[in-house]
Structure 1
Amino acid sequence: MMERILLGVFFLSECLILSTSVLRQFYFVNQSLNWTEAQTYCRQKYTDLVTIRNSEETNQLMNTLSSAGHSSEVWIGLFSEIDWRWSDGFTGSGAEYRNWRSESNEPNFISGKDLCVITSISGLWFDVKCSEKRQFICYKGTQLDPNFVYVSQSMNWPSAQRFCRENFVDLASVRNETENQSILKSWSSGHFPWLGLYRDPNVYWSDGSSFLFSNWYNGKIPLGSMRIVCGVTSIQLSGSWKLLSCETRLPFVCYKLPVKKQVVKLRLKTEDSVDLNDPVLKENILKKLQDRLKEDEVSGITLKWRGQLDGEVFRKEKLKEP
């Protein structure tokens, strides 16, 4: 019976989507706080740290900063969790070994796309785009006693991973300097082959919005050994995004959703035995609707029933006589 009721109720969600077209209001806050403090401030005073969902909101943010006379960096609601992992899933002793090239601030996340790792003939590592075609290093044997194999075919990182898994064990994991030096003996200079180290983007918005639109700064974004980094933008960056230590103290921009109430009348056809005013049933209907809105990536809407004078929400209609 519940399923039959909800077929009619889904009509309500389609009507409510219309109310999300209201323009968000942006507020520049000229206080220097770290990212977490700025997030708390925005949630207490407004809705949250600002989320940028498209180019129009980028322009709106730039206008907000321009009106405030502020051109340097500000916090936005963007943050990223940096979790480097090995292709073979190794997490034992030595899994945290890294040999980044410090002179170029590796890993440096250029254009927000450097998610896979290569090595050089000097044994120093770089993060680059996973789509690049490069030679690579597999291993055979076991995780604790690997025998490294250099493959001279050029493939992107996912294809190299698949090749290693089909023909050997996996892309190479490197647990210490001894293994790093052992890899260097397997090829000549002039190539920068893939290792098994990679990470997922893991980019999020403070308010839980889906990460669909991106506007990364087209340059180096040094990440070093940081595990959590937070997003900034500025007029100087033309609205593009960089990542900094979340402990940096900066001004920030909040947003607020204008309150707009919309009453939608709903007619449902049910069996006589179903009491739509039952509190549990009403709560279940609201939950189903809220879940549907979330699936459709609609945010900023709070659903509640509007009671009549007697406190009831639904009334039975009298059947019209034929």
Structure 2
Amino acid sequence: MMKRILLVVLSLSGWSLSTCLLHQYHYVPDLKTWTEAQSYCRQRYTDLATIGNTEEMNQLINTVLSAGYNSQVWIGLYNEINWTWSDGYTGSDADFRNWETNIEKEPNFDLADQFCVSTGAHGTWFDDQCTFPICFFCYSGSQMNPDFVFVNKAMNWSSAQGYCREKFTDLVTVRNRAENLNIQNLMQSNYAWIGLFRDPSFYWSDQSIFSFTYLDQVANHIGLMNVTCGVADLQKSGRWRFQPCETRNPFVCYMSSPVKEAVKRQVVKLGMKLKDSSVDLNDPAVEANILKKLQDRLKENGVSEVTVKWREQPDGKVFQKGEDIFHKKNRKKTKL
């Protein structure tokens, strides 16, 4: 008997409930640096746009396109660049770099996935994907008096680091041009790992956890910058890339959804025909079962941030028979 009632309820059509995404986006056409855009968003909205999933990414794209703009906009993404030596060396000459600048402008952070450094046969350095298997340089002895060793084994950067720490002291630290020339003279391959690396360090302006990624597979020239800032490129399906933070772009802010700040109520009226007239829809057990089925159906349709509750009538009941409603309307008309 109960199953028949539920089938009647689930066969109903023409009703709906609406909900809001976590973020509501606002396109601002003013040209500002990333920091200026961040201040603007924090003053007038919540922050620069944070994007946590594909649905929000599509919402941001639609927001910008509907404003008639289809190029690059600042979002709240930024990347900190902090090069570190594997052995932890931080002396005054720890900042020595010999980046390749002729053939390619390095470091170019290609594919937004290059966090380890290799040296080429000519002694210039490249940022590379840490998973590449290439030869590497270790050193033995102390930091101040190292002996460089070329290891003619192809490993990814992490494996090379472990090998050097087990067999020698660590991956090589290169502190000046003399030491760089020393490892160049020992080179027996086109490329080899050295001990320089950095963490991914992707962040959102509002300090949300960086979990969803939509990074473009392009070069991101970071040069000597310590921080680069993220844009969504509408000409490339909104894919993210990094630019100098001093660049002036329009931008997208977000405001937290009202779903998070206040309860949005919507009344949906349901009409049902019972195959068994003896069933009491106002029985608490019956109400609870129908409610559960409605909630399950919402989840099946991708609506998860909605709670369904019955709205009681003044007499304390949820359901009223059609004939009772008809008589009440007639009584109201008679009074008028």
Equivalent residue, structure 1, for 2:143: 143
Q: Which amino acid aligns with 1:165?
A: R
Q: C-alpha displacement at 1:262, in angstroms? A: 4.5
Equivalent residue, structure 1, for 2:160: 160
Secondary structure of the residue aligned to 1:61 is helix
Equivalent residue, structure 2, for 1:245: 244
TM norm structure 1: 0.73
Q: Which amino acid aligns with 2:121?
A: I
Give CA deviations for 1:40-90 in whole Å, capped at 9, x if unaligned.
111111111001111222211111111111112110000111000000000
**Cα distance in 2 for residues equivalent to 1:220 and 1:212:** 21
Secondary structure of the residue aligned to 1:88 is coil
Equivalent residue, structure 1, for 2:8: none
- Which aligned pairs between 1:103-142 and structure 2 lie closer than 5 A? 103=102, 104-142=104-142
Equivalent residue, structure 1, for 2:199: 200
Query: Once superposed, what is the RMSD of the aligned Cα atoms?
Result: 1.7
Secondary structure of the residue aligned to 2:213 is coil
Q: C-alpha displacement at 1:21, in angstroms? A: 6.3
**Cα distance in 2 for residues equivalent to 1:147 and 1:196:** 14
Which sections of structure 1, spanning at least 5 residues, go unmatched?
1-19, 264-322
**Cα distance in 1 for residues equivalent to 2:34 and 2:21:** 27
**Cα distance in 1 for residues equivalent to 2:20 and 2:130:** 37
- Which aligned pairs between 1:1-322 and structure 2 lie closer than 5 A? 22-103=21-102, 104-188=104-188, 190-260=189-259, 261-262=262-263
- Count of residues in correspondence between the two structures: 244
- Give structure 1 regions of 4+ aligned residues with deviation exceeding 4 angstroms: none
- Any conservation in 1 of the 2:107–2:221 contact (CA below 8 Å)? yes
Measured at CA, do residues 23 and 92 of structure 1 come closer, stay the same or move farther in structure 2, by a change above 3 Å?
A: closer
Which sections of structure 2, spanning at least 5 residues, go unmatched?
1-18, 265-336
- Any conservation in 2 of the 1:73–1:234 contact (CA below 8 Å)? yes
Give CA deviations for 1:164-205 in whole Å, capped at 9, x if unaligned.
0011010000000000000011123x4201000000011100
**Cα distance in 1 for residues equivalent to 2:21 and 2:232:** 24
**Cα distance in 2 for residues equivalent to 1:134 and 1:21:** 49
- Any conservation in 2 of the 1:105–1:223 contact (CA below 8 Å)? no
**Cα distance in 1 for residues equivalent to 2:145 and 2:196:** 18
- Any conservation in 2 of the 1:115–1:201 contact (CA below 8 Å)? yes
- Any conservation in 2 of the 1:112–1:217 contact (CA below 8 Å)? yes
Q: C-alpha displacement at 1:111, in angstroms? A: 1.3
Give CA deviations for 1:236-270 in whole Å, capped at 9, x if unaligned.
1211111111111111000112324249xxxxxxx
Q: C-alpha displacement at 1:22, in angstroms? A: 3.6
**Cα distance in 2 for residues equivalent to 1:198 and 1:94:** 16
**Cα distance in 2 for residues equivalent to 1:99 and 1:21:** 51
Q: State the identity %.
A: 49
- Any conservation in 1 of the 2:233–2:241 contact (CA below 8 Å)? no
Q: Which amino acid aligns with 2:39?
A: T
**Cα distance in 2 for residues equivalent to 1:134 and 1:23:** 44
Secondary structure of the residue aligned to 1:221 is coil
TM norm structure 2: 0.70
Secondary structure of the residue aligned to 2:41 is helix
- Any conservation in 1 of the 2:117–2:196 contact (CA below 8 Å)? yes
- Any conservation in 2 of the 1:139–1:168 contact (CA below 8 Å)? yes
